[in-house]
Amino acid sequence: MSGGMVPVFKKYTTGSKGIWEKIRQLLVIAPERSSGNPIVSLYRVPAPGSHPAAKSYDDPYTVPAGDIAENTYFKRDHRRNYPRVSTFDQTKIAGLLEIGSAKEPRVLVGKAGEQQLSVYNKPEEPVYLSTQLKKITDDVINGQILGKHGEPVLAPSFNKGMQWNIIKDNGVYGVGEYPCRLFNYAAVEGTTTVPLTAASTAQ
């Protein structure tokens, strides 16, 4: 506590007085520790709710949060408004391979297109991906699943032309005390080092 220990006589607790207080200070381990029993006449005075303004308190009413008609809590519970996870099963992926996407649609026009879409809207009749791969043409496989010439597709990277360089100097700890490595993220073609360090992994 800042300012030192508060003396016992300044605390709002009951205790001994006179010679008995001197005896208590000689016998106890911590003389400045109070009994912990509050003085009844001074405890919570004025009492909570005894203020005149508490009797005429008006609950603030806001619209539309205060309107209880068709106002369920989950609609305005923004703290738990987590992003909803979407999943893709074999039927959805097979449908994308046949009917395409919004960028490159391959849906037929008219009744034929409705029948084509209805195949993938039946949960009780799943479409397997292995069956769909046998039906699609080579131009869909080469360019959308694989590369333009049938080569395997590499994972996308937003940091092209960059690499991690291991720092030869030790970190906070000495050699053998804490096995870790420090890296610098630097450009491959340039000499400028991006100020991103302290990425360590155990050896």
Q: Given 68, 85, 102, which residue is the final one in a domain?
A: 85
**pLDDT of 24:** 92
Shared domain for 22 and 71, answered yes or no, is yes
Shared domain for 180 and 114, answered yes or no, is no
Secondary structure element (H or E) that encloses residue 166, with its range: strand 162-166
Place of tokens 């993220």: 185
**pLDDT of 187:** 58
**pLDDT of 203:** 42
The answer to pTM > 0.85 is no
Asked whether residue 7 is domain-assigned, the answer is yes
**pLDDT of 172:** 56
**pLDDT of 131:** 85
CB 199 within 8 A of CB 182: yes
Asked whether residue 150 is domain-assigned, the answer is no
- Residue pLDDT tens, the chain, 203 long: 566 778 888 888 998 989 999 999 999 988 888 888 999 888 888 887 788 877 777 777 787 777 778 888 887 788 887 777 888 888 888 888 888 777 778 777 778 777 777 877 777 888 888 888 888 888 888 877 887 877 777 776 666 666 777 766 655 556 666 666 666 766 555 444 444 444 444 44
Tokens of 36: 């912990």
Sign, CA torsion 127/129/132/134? negative
Asked whether residue 169 is domain-assigned, the answer is yes
Domain count, the chain: 3
**pLDDT of 84:** 76
Asked whether residue 104 is domain-assigned, the answer is yes
**pLDDT of 13:** 92
Shared domain for 131 and 184, answered yes or no, is no
Shared domain for 7 and 79, answered yes or no, is yes
Asked whether residue 202 is domain-assigned, the answer is no
Secondary structure element (H or E) that encloses residue 95, with its range: helix 90-99
Place of tokens 């010439």: 149
Q: Which of 82, 86, 72, 94 is nearest to 145 (CA)?
A: 94
Shared domain for 76 and 54, answered yes or no, is yes
Secondary structure element (H or E) that encloses residue 22, with its range: helix 19-27
Domain span including residue 189 = 162-194
Asked whether residue 76 is domain-assigned, the answer is yes
